Amino acid sequence: EENSRTFSGRVKRHLSLWASQAQFLAYDIRDLPSGFAQSQRKRGLPVLTWTVNSPALRERAAAHADAPIAEGPGL
């Protein structure tokens, strides 16, 4: 399975990302921090995150993503 935390799951995620030629990753804020997102971010792939709707989530987004997608008082 692609979302598996096993070695084969990791390989499938990387292959899917390469095949799709993605220009960014979009992650639910609840899934950050993520080792996969962090490794892709270090490679220069922007990470966006949703839904940032509190000061605490804004801080998490600032630490682990390049752009928050906010709702309400999130920003």
Write the CA distances from 54 to 8, 30, 32, 46, integer angstroms.
35, 12, 15, 22
Residue identified by tokens 């995150």 is 49
Q: What integer pLDDT is reported at residue 5 of this predicted model?
A: 73
3-state SS, residue 69: strand
pTM of the model: 0.78
Q: What integer pLDDT is reported at residue 70 of this predicted model?
A: 87
Backbone angles phi, psi at 55, to 5 degrees: -60, -40
Q: Which residues of the chain have pLDDT under 50?
A: 1-2
Backbone angles phi, psi at 52, to 5 degrees: -90, 115
- Tell me the torsion sign for CA atoms 49, 38, 56, 31: positive
